[in-house]
Chain A
C-alpha cells in the first residue's frame, strides 16, 4: 500500500490502513510526516486512559475487562500495549494479547502491541503519535498499557488524560518504596487481585498516602490556584506536584456537577475543586469491580471537562510536543553542521586529551553553528 491509498482507506475506516499507518509512524518512515499532517486535525477527541503498575499486577487482564465494559457502554476502544525491548538483541516478546481474549474479534476494538525500543519511560518514543492516529481514526476510548513500571516510568501521565495505577495486595513495604514513583501520578487507583489477603490493608495504605498528599499545600494530585485561574492569571498547571511550569491563562466556569464530582471524592477544603484520586478494588480475572473502575474513569473525564482542565491539558500537550520537536531538530542540526565543518571531531579530540573542557567546547560549537 502506498501513502495515498493508506490515507484514503484510513479516512474510510479501513483497519488494515490504520495498522500500516501505525507501522510507518512507529518506524519514522518518510510517509509518517504526511500521515501526521493529515490526521492531526482530527485528534483531541478520544479519552486517553493510561494503565500502569508493577509487572504481574494484572494490567493486561484488567485492560481486557475494561475494554469489554466500555463496549457494553457503546464506546469503541483502542488498546496500545507496550512491552520491553531486549537490550541485547533489540528483539521483543509482545505477549499482552494472550490476556486479551474477550474482545479480540469485536470490530469495535483495535489492539496494537508496541515494543519499548530502548526507551525507558514506560512507553516508547512513538506511543504518543500512535495514540494520535487511533484518536483521528475515531476511537472513543484509548487504553494505553505501559511496560511493568516501578518508580520512574511516569511518562504515561504526559500522554493520558486519566492515569490509572494498578497495584496488588501484599506489597507491604513496597508501597512505601514506590511512594515517590508511580503512586504520585495516579488519577485513579485499582487494587487488583482483591480476592487475596491484605487487599483492604493495601487500599487503606494508599488512601492514607493520598490524604497526606492531598492536604498538604502543594500536595499530590492538586491543581493549584483555583482563584488565580478564575481571575484569568497565568498559573501553574500542577496536577501532581511535580509538573514543570506551564504558563497559560484560562477562565473557568465551574459547573455544579464539577463541584459535585469534587465533593464526592473528598477534598481538604470546601470549595476546593482538586481531584482526590479514588481507590477501587478489582479482581480482573473474574471481572469484579470493573464497572466501578470504569465509572471512576468516566467521572474523571467529566471532571476534566467541566473544570476546563481538558482544554488546559491540550495546551500543555501542545507546548510539550513543540518543545520536544524543536529541541530534537535543533540539536540534530547543530551537530550535523559542526560535524560537516570538522569542528566536532577536533573538539572531541581536545576534550578527550584534556586540553579543553567540555563546557567551553560546547559553547564554541553553539556560537559558531547556532549563532548564540
Chain B
C-alpha cells in the first residue's frame, strides 16, 4: 500500500497547536507520514510546503476564527498551482453554520471539537486513496 503523506498546519495568528499535535500523532500512529509545519503560517507558505512535499492530504487546524478567510485562500493557491487533487480537511473550533461555506470552498471534511480520532483517520484514508 502506498504511504500516505499528510501536511498538518495552522494558518495565521493562531498559537494553540495542541489539537494539531494530537491529530499529527494520531496520523503517525496510523502509519501516515506527517509533515508538521508549526504555528503562524501564511497560506502561501502552507501551499508551497504542500506542493514541495507532494502530500496527499492537507489538514488545517483552526482555533482562532479566521477559517472562513484563510482556508479558502489556501485552497485557491493550491488550485492555481494545479494541486487540486489534494484532499483538504479542516478541524478545530469551527461553528456548524460555517461548515457549508467551507465545503463549498473545497474542504472535503470538517472535524469539530470532540471528533473521534479513529473517524478522522478512517475518513482520510478512504477519501485520499480515492482522490489520486
Question: Which residues of A are at the interface with B, using a C-beta cutoff of 8 A?
Answer: 15-16, 19-20, 22-23, 27, 85-86, 88-95, 97-98, 101, 104-105, 110-113, 115, 117
Shortest Cβ distance from residue B2 to the other chain A in the assembled complex, whole angstroms:
6
* CB-CB under 8 A for A94 and B36, given A104-B45, A112-B52, A112-B53: yes
Instruction: Please report whether the interface of chain A is mostly helix, strand, loop or mixed according to DSSP.
Output: mixed
Pairwise interchain contact A91-B27, C-beta atoms closer than 8 A = yes
Chain B residues 36-85 with CB under 8 Å of chain A are 36-38, 42, 44-45, 48-49, 51-54, 81-83
Shortest Cβ distance from residue B78 to the other chain A in the assembled complex, whole angstroms:
10
Which residues of the other chain, B, contact A105 by a CB distance below 8 angstroms? 42, 44-45, 48
A89 CB contact (under 8 Å) in B24, B30, B49, B82: B30
* CB-CB under 8 A for A93 and B36, given A27-B2, A27-B3: yes
* CB-CB under 8 A for A90 and B31, given A16-B81, A105-B44: yes
Which residues of the other chain, A, contact B45 by a CB distance below 8 angstroms? 101, 104-105
In the bound assembly, the distance between CA atoms of A23 and B35 in angstroms comes to: 14
Which residues of the other chain, B, contact A19 by a CB distance below 8 angstroms? 51-54
Pairwise interchain contact B51-A91, C-beta atoms closer than 8 A = no
Which residues of the other chain, A, contact B36 by a CB distance below 8 angstroms? 93-95, 97-98
Pairwise interchain contact A97-B35, C-beta atoms closer than 8 A = yes
B29 interface residue per 8 A CB criterion: yes
Which residues of the other chain, B, contact A101 by a CB distance below 8 angstroms? 38, 45
In the bound assembly, the distance between CA atoms of A339 and B70 in angstroms comes to: 56
Which residues of the other chain, A, contact B82 by a CB distance below 8 angstroms? 16
Instruction: Please report whether the interface of chain B is mostly helix, strand, loop or mixed according to DSSP.
Output: mixed
Number of interface residues of B (CB under 8 A): 29
Closest to B2 in A: A27
* CB-CB under 8 A for A113 and B35, given A15-B52, A105-B45, A105-B48: yes
Pairwise interchain contact B3-A97, C-beta atoms closer than 8 A = no
Pairwise interchain contact A93-B28, C-beta atoms closer than 8 A = yes
Pairwise interchain contact A86-B81, C-beta atoms closer than 8 A = no
Pairwise interchain contact A91-B49, C-beta atoms closer than 8 A = no
List 3 tightest A-B contacts by C-beta distance, closest first: A91-B28, A98-B38, A19-B54
Pairwise interchain contact A111-B52, C-beta atoms closer than 8 A = yes
Question: Can you name 22 A-B residue pairings with CB atoms under 8 Å?
Answer: A15-B51, A15-B52, A16-B51, A27-B3, A86-B29, A88-B29, A89-B30, A91-B28, A91-B29, A91-B34, A92-B33, A93-B28, A93-B36, A94-B33, A95-B35, A95-B38, A104-B45, A104-B48, A110-B52, A112-B52, A112-B53, A115-B33
Pairwise interchain contact B30-A94, C-beta atoms closer than 8 A = no
B127 interface residue per 8 A CB criterion: no
Which residues of the other chain, A, contact B83 by a CB distance below 8 angstroms? 16
Closest to A9 in B: B82
Which residues of the other chain, A, contact B111 by a CB distance below 8 angstroms? none
Shortest Cβ distance from residue B3 to the other chain A in the assembled complex, whole angstroms:
7
Which residues of the other chain, A, contact B51 by a CB distance below 8 angstroms? 15-16, 19
Pairwise interchain contact A97-B2, C-beta atoms closer than 8 A = no
In the bound assembly, the distance between CA atoms of A213 and B43 in angstroms comes to: 51
Pairwise interchain contact A92-B52, C-beta atoms closer than 8 A = no
B25 interface residue per 8 A CB criterion: yes
Pairwise interchain contact A23-B54, C-beta atoms closer than 8 A = yes
Pairwise interchain contact A93-B49, C-beta atoms closer than 8 A = no
